[in-house]
């Protein structure tokens, strides 16, 4: 479990996070959603330590990330898998080399062990045998699956995905969402997904934090979000006039 408590973050004059509190439970897909520029990525970057918070605390299973020693932080970082916007694969490395990269950086595994692990992860994302391809030879959906294989190579307790579906077509997006959900349950990970894709919200939103103007404005799940009366959430979910008409017909 990850807990964010009263976190604030300001850049210059711009208060990007304003007293945000949230709980991200183990074994669940926890979403951070909201319109562009509301502070979603900054919140995720604070949680993984790419930004320091100005105020508040972040707990990883009871351990306060904001005050721990650099060594303890490094240990937690090795337990975090990350999937960034785009796939962020290394273009000059093969699929296999991409997946082995974190293992060679952070573990003392032998070559054979790393290869076994890479093969296991590739199989898990349905890409067995594609070891020697280069990213440029793979489709967008394949690249995303390779990035997931790399993210789970270290057997992470925590998985962060920042807009995992950006640039993918709707059907491929649904497959990637399904994979993220499956591996979350299978490995009992604490998964945090940033998205503004309504399909994802409905498909995988076990718990949802709606960020608005740097605040955790509304919390719920994929069932309560379609019926809430919270104005800002309604405007986000039913963005078009067409969808608003459908909502009023259902009411």
Give the shortest CB-217-to-ligand ADP separation in angstroms: 12
Residue closer to ligand ADP by CB (options 39, 81) is 39
Answer for which of 2, 4, 16, 151 binds ligand ADP (CB under 6 A) is 16
Helix, strand, coil shares of the chain, percent, nearest 5, are 40, 25, 35
Q: Would you count residue 36 as binding ligand ADP (CB under 6 A)?
A: yes
Judged by CB under 6 A, which of 6, 10, 37, 243 binds ligand ADP?
Answer: 37
CB 138 within 8 A of CB 146: yes
**Interface with Mg ion by CB under 5 A: which range of 14-22, 40-48, 94-102, 185-193?**
40-48
Nearest to 82 by CA among 197, 212, 194: 194
Residue 189 token pair: 């990970």
The helix (run of H) or strand (run of E) holding residue 58 is strand 55-60
By the 8 A CB rule, do 15 and 214 touch?
yes
Q: Which residue is nearest to Mg ion (CB)?
A: 41
Strand partners, 64: 59
Q: Give the interface segment with ligand ADP, choosing from 36-44, 146-154, 200-208, 223-231 (CB under 6 A).
A: 36-44
Binding of ligand ADP at residue 129 (CB under 6 A)?
no
Q: Which stretch binds Mg ion (CB under 5 A): 22-30, 33-41, 67-75, 166-174?
A: 33-41
Q: How deeply is 44 buried, as exposed, middle or buried, from its count of CB atoms within 10 A (0-12, 13-18, 19+)? A: buried
Q: Which residues contact ligand ADP by CB under 6 A?
A: 11, 14, 16, 34, 36-42
Binding-site ranges for Mg ion (CB under 5 A): 40-41
């Amino acid at each position: 479990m990850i807990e964010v408590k009263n976190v604030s973050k300001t850049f210059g004059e711009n208060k990007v996070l304003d007293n945000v509190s949230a709980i991200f439970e183990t074994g669940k897909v926890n979403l951070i959603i909201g319109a562009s520029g509301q502070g979603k990525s900054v919140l995720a970057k604070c949680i993984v330590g790419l930004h320091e918070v100005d105020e508040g605390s972040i707990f990883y299973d009871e351990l306060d990330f904001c005050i721990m020693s650099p060594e303890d932080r490094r240990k937690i970082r090795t337990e975090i898998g990350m999937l960034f916007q785009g796939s962020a694969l290394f273009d000059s490395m093969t699929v296999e080399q991409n997946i082995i990269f974190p293992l060679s950086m952070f573990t003392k595994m032998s070559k054979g062990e790393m290869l076994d692990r890479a093969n296991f992860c590739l199989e898990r994302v349905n890409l067995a045998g594609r070891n020697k391809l280069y990213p440029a030879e793979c489709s967008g959906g394949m690249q995303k699956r390779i990035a997931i294989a790399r993210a789970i190579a270290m057997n992470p307790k925590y998985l962060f995905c920042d807009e995992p579906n950006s640039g993918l077509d709707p059907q491929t997006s649904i497959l990637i969402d399904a994979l993220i959900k499956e591996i979350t349950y299978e490995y009992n990970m604490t998964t945090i997904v940033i998205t503004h894709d309504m399909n994802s919200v409905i498909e995988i939103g076990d718990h949802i934090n709606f960020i608005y103007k740097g605040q955790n404005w509304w919390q719920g799940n994929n069932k309560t979000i379609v019926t809430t009366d919270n104005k800002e959430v309604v405007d986000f979910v039913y963005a078009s006039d067409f969808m608003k008409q459908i909502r009023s017909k259902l009411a």
